[in-house]
């Protein structure tokens, strides 16, 4: 049987670990040729690629900082030069900036904007020039853009709120071209940055309807569906995958 993403070219930003790595692996398993970007972890990025290739898939790693416009343009150009197009974009790269408003450094604020907002815009702008009918753009937002049960996340919330708004407007812009745009909003997911047995896990787990953290594979499965032909009538959506965190 043909794989649902056979002959598709996917770009997943910030995919050397965690959710991004799981997304890249799942898209490749579904038949896509996957390019991933990373900033400063070549060993981890190439481990992801080696895993995909070892399983019979196709993948390549590209060093690119999603907070730097020139890096983004170079990464997109590298993919297009190699494959001629991009069918699926997953804007996964992001940073979490925490702190009460009076203590946040301007450099940290600027970095959050550069990666979480400007980087998403620039990557999307570059990619849509090479995306045709049936294209899929998938944002990685956060349930925290709608619900914040703890202090110190105002900057992170602001950037993910911008992603949500960008998704809605972009869906209108690109709908006539047959391109869908959706925003996935994960809740607590077990990663090395937010482990299910970490310092705050007990308190967070108490807020989850299902009583446990999600897995990176859960998010990857949702991305794979939105990237598939079956999701062609879904666009402009904000889709929570949060175990009932915001229920």
> What are the catalytic residues?
156
DSSP 85-126: ---EEEE-------S-TTT--HHHHHHHHIIIIIHHHHHHHH
* 3-state class percentages of the chain: helix first, strand second, coil last, to nearest 5: 45, 15, 40
β-pairing, 58-63 vs 136-140, is unpaired
At residue 31, the 3 state secondary structure works out as coil
Q: What angle, 0 to 180 degrees and rounded to 10, lies between the N-to-C axes of helices 216-227 and 18-29?
A: 50
CA distance 6 to 169: 29
Q: Using the structure block, give the residue that is written with the tokens 């049987």.
A: 1
CA distance 215 to 191: 8
Phi and psi at 186, nearest 5°, equal -70, 150
């Amino acid at each position: 049987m043909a794989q649902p993403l056979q002959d598709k070219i996917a770009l997943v930003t910030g995919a050397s670990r965690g959710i991004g790595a799981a997304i890249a692996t799942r898209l490749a398993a579904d038949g896509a040729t996957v390019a991933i970007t990373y900033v400063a972890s070549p060993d981890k990025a190439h481990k992801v690629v080696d895993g995909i290739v070892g399983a019979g898939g196709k993948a390549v790693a590209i060093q690119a900082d999603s907070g730097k416009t020139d890096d983004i343009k170079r990464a997109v150009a590298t993919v297009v030069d190699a494959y001629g197009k991009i069918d699926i974009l997953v804007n996964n790269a992001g940073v979490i900036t925490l702190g009460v408003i009076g203590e946040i450094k301007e450099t940290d604020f600027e970095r959050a904007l550069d990666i979480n907002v400007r980087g998403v815009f620039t990557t999307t702008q570059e990619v849509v020039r090479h995306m045709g009918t049936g294209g899929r753009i998938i944002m990685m937002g956060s349930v925290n853009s709608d619900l914040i049960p703890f202090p110190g996340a105002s900057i992170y919330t602001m950037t993910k709120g911008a992603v949500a708004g960008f998704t809605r407007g972009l869906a209108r812009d690109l709908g006539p071209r047959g391109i869908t745009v959706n925003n996935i909003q994960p809740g607590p997911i077990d990663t090395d940055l937010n482990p299910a047995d970490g310092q705050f896990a007990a308190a967070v787990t108490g807020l989850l309807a299902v009583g446990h953290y999600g897995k990176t594979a859960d998010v990857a499965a949702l991305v794979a569906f939105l990237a598939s032909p079956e999701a062609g009538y879904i666009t402009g959506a904000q889709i929570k995958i949060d175990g009932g965190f915001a229920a």
